[in-house]
Structure 1
């Protein structure tokens, strides 16, 4: 199963929920892989403490134009949806930063003047974190405008036979849509504030367009924000857990320690998420067996 954790805005606690659930499920005996697709600002490593075992470049195929063969017919430029090629009299310009690597230009060129070469847009790191959690993260090169190619490379590292916890970028733009593709369940993490509700409403529309099951986790819950309660009821969205607002949680987070390692009172909340997803049995039974302590 592949579960993606997303949010309409940054700072809602998306990564907090993702890494702690990965840790809990690993303690319960499951094979878990954590994939950090927030490639512009990955931070899951701060909490899962992985040993990086392999690093490779994330590559995109971009066009190279043989100006001697090029007839300046304009076919490549006309077909490119991303305007990565511009045909001028006697010369065809390529803008590699705009290229999505689809290869269409080389296919439609009637003169056979276009070949492709690799361009590095970031890097992919793999390793092993706490409790044997398999760890993958993508890191986008500074100044690189497109995260999607790196996100796709992260997902290519997915291991069969493992429960995959995918940490999505914040927001609702193309990188989020790319991360949400080919998953089984979408978990949206929100907070009980006007900004949190507004951005949740936007990301719910994106998630609903995928047709995948959606679950909600309310972080820093205080229980009194009626607009959020009404919205969730209107949309018939299931709340898997409500993590209470607690200054101690913020203090633990700021030191790079998992909540489950430092605050035992949060264990039941994360167990509720796992049980709600059908990934664990009744949390009390597991606790009696010593797997959640």
Structure 2
């Protein structure tokens, strides 16, 4: 069972929900796909850390074979190649490693070399396996790291909780590709509603079963913009997390609330049970 946790913007509570669900699930796997700014490890503080580099293939030019035909330059939509005075220059920082330039080269002047773009860290926190992807500063795309992260959990028998990147860009799409269920975390503000709609459209495109956790609720007397929208669109509201100083303090101190408070342990255990009931039955049975 793979549960992806998304949000339309940063700071909504995506990691709060992810780490606590993984924690109350006991034997589970937490995967931090927010490779540009991973912070799940700050909460779990994993031990027995193992690190592995993630590399991509980028073009390497053999100047003796290059005839300056510019076919590769014209092909590259990311402007990662340029021909200056019949000399081919590769701008590694913007190369997307698609390999098209190598296929097109009529003289085989282009081959491939490895370029490290980040790393994957694996550790253990209590009974949770913690896996984090970290993109090197200045790199163009974290998609290759996310692909490797999700490849590593293909054969995982325990429940997997995927902490997705915020927003609805390519890295978020890659994170939910193999998910069995998506939890959308939203905050009840105008800005929060705007960004929630974008990520809601994303899960609909991928045809993923989904539900919503509304975080930072104040009370039930004032109008809740997210809840109103969910009711209008017939979107399942899984839970509402109320704005409380105790929870805010625990989260700000990078503490896993469900491990520090019986109250929050019960809250996230209840949320987990609700999610399990929503996940397609065959998926839960298989996991």
Report the TM-score, using the length of structure 2 for normalisation: 0.90
**Separation in structure 2 between the aligned mates of residue 85 and residue 182 of structure 1, nearest angstrom:** 33
Residue 156 of structure 1 aligns to a residue whose secondary structure is: helix
Q: What's 1:127 paired with?
A: 123
1:257 aligns with 2:252: no
Q: CA deviation at 1:120?
A: 0.9
Q: What's 2:9 paired with?
A: 9
1:157 aligns with 2:152: yes
C-alpha deviations, 1:191-232, integer Å up to 9, x for none? 111111111111111221111111100112223234322211
1:209 aligns with 2:187: no
Given candidates 196, 219, 227, the residue that maps to 1:229 is 227
Q: What's 2:244 paired with?
A: 246
Structure 1 unaligned blocks of 5 or more: 281-293
Q: What's 1:275 paired with?
A: 273
Once the two structures are superposed, the pairs formed by residues 1-293 of structure 1 within 5 Å of their partners are 1-26=1-26, 31-130=27-126, 132-158=127-153, 159-222=155-218, 223=220, 224-278=222-276
**Separation in structure 1 between the aligned mates of residue 147 and residue 20 of structure 2, nearest angstrom:** 24
Contact 1:136 1:157 in 2 (8 A): no
Contact 1:63 1:115 in 2 (8 A): yes
CA RMSD across the alignment: 1.8
**Separation in structure 2 between the aligned mates of residue 52 and residue 170 of structure 1, nearest angstrom:** 28
**Separation in structure 1 between the aligned mates of residue 177 and residue 76 of structure 2, nearest angstrom:** 23
More displaced stretch, 5-14 vs 50-59: 50-59
Contact 2:135 2:145 in 1 (8 A): yes
Residue 83 of structure 1 aligns to a residue whose secondary structure is: coil
**Separation in structure 1 between the aligned mates of residue 205 and residue 48 of structure 2, nearest angstrom:** 36
Residue 277 of structure 1 aligns to a residue whose secondary structure is: helix
C-alpha deviations, 1:49-103, integer Å up to 9, x for none? 2114311111111000111111222222233232222234411111111112222
Q: CA deviation at 1:269?
A: 2.8
More displaced stretch, 225-234 vs 92-101: 225-234
Contact 1:100 1:149 in 2 (8 A): no
**Separation in structure 2 between the aligned mates of residue 57 and residue 123 of structure 1, nearest angstrom:** 4
C-alpha deviations, 1:246-290, integer Å up to 9, x for none? 11101111222111122222233322322222269xxxxxxxxxx
Report the TM-score, using the length of structure 1 for normalisation: 0.88
Q: CA deviation at 1:152?
A: 2.0
**Separation in structure 2 between the aligned mates of residue 73 and residue 225 of structure 1, nearest angstrom:** 63
Structure 2 unaligned blocks of 5 or more: 279-287
Runs of 4+ residues over 6 Å off in structure 1: none
The number of residues matched between the two structures is 275
Residue 152 of structure 2 aligns to a residue whose secondary structure is: coil
**Separation in structure 2 between the aligned mates of residue 195 and residue 263 of structure 1, nearest angstrom:** 31
Q: What's 2:285 paired with?
A: none
Contact 2:33 2:164 in 1 (8 A): yes
